[in-house]
Amino acid sequence: MLNRNLFFIGILLIAHSFLIADEPMLFDLGNDGWTLINKNGLGQWTIDKPELITVTSEKYDKLPLFNVKGAEYNRGMKLHRTRAQECPTSYAVILDSIIIREKPEKNSFQYERDKDYQIEPKWGCIGRLPESRISEQQSVYIDYVYGKMRIDSLVRTPTGQLIVKKGVSHVTTPVPPELDDGETRLANIWIKASIEKLTPAQIFPILESQYPELPARTPTTAERLLPKTIAKLKAGETVNILAWGDSVTDAGYLPNPQTERWQEQFVARLRAKFPKANIVLKTEAWGGRNTDSYRNEPSGSPKNYKEKVLDQKPDLIVSEFVNDSYLRGDVLEQRYSKILLEFKEIGAEWVILTPHYVRSDWMGLQSEQGIDDDPRPYTKSLREFTAKNNIALADAAKRYGRLWRQGIPYSTLLMNNINHPNPFGMKLFADALMELFETGQ
Q: How many CB atoms lie within 10 A of CB 111?
A: 19
Alpha carbon 374 to chain centroid distance?
Answer: 14
* Residue 284 clears pLDDT 80, i.e. is over it: yes
**What's the CA angle centered on 436, arms 433 and 441, to 5 degrees?**
135
C-alpha–C-alpha distance, residues 161 and 158, integer Å: 7
Cβ atoms of 390 and 225 closer than 8 Å: yes
Residue type, 411: S
Residues 6+ apart with CB under 8 A from 160: none
pTM score, whole prediction: 0.92
Cβ atoms of 164 and 152 closer than 8 Å: yes
Per residue in 55-112, pLDDT (tens digit) is: 999 999 999 999 999 999 999 999 999 999 999 999 999 999 999 999 999 999 999 9
Res 416: pLDDT: 97
Res 26: pLDDT: 61
Characterize 167-180 residue by residue with b for buried, 16 or more Cβ atoms within 10 angstroms of its Cβ, and e for exposed. Answer: bebbbbbbbbbeee
**What's the CA angle centered on 23, arms 21 and 26, to 5 degrees?**
105
406 versus 7: the higher-pLDDT residue is 406
Res 18: pLDDT: 40
**Which whole number is the average pLDDT over 292-313?**
97
Per residue in 325-352, pLDDT (tens digit) is: 999 999 999 999 999 999 999 999 999 9
C-alpha–C-alpha distance, residues 426 and 396, integer Å: 9
Q: Which domains does the chain have, with CATH numbers?
A: 7-48+150-205 (no CATH), 51-148 (no CATH), 221-438 (3.40.50.1110)
C-alpha–C-alpha distance, residues 18 and 20, integer Å: 6
3-class DSSP state of 353 = strand
Q: What is the dihedral of CA 75, 79, 83, 89, to 10 degrees?
A: -70
Q: How many CB atoms lie within 10 A of CB 259?
A: 12
Residues 6+ apart with CB under 8 A from 167: 150, 151, 152, 153, 174, 175, 176, 177
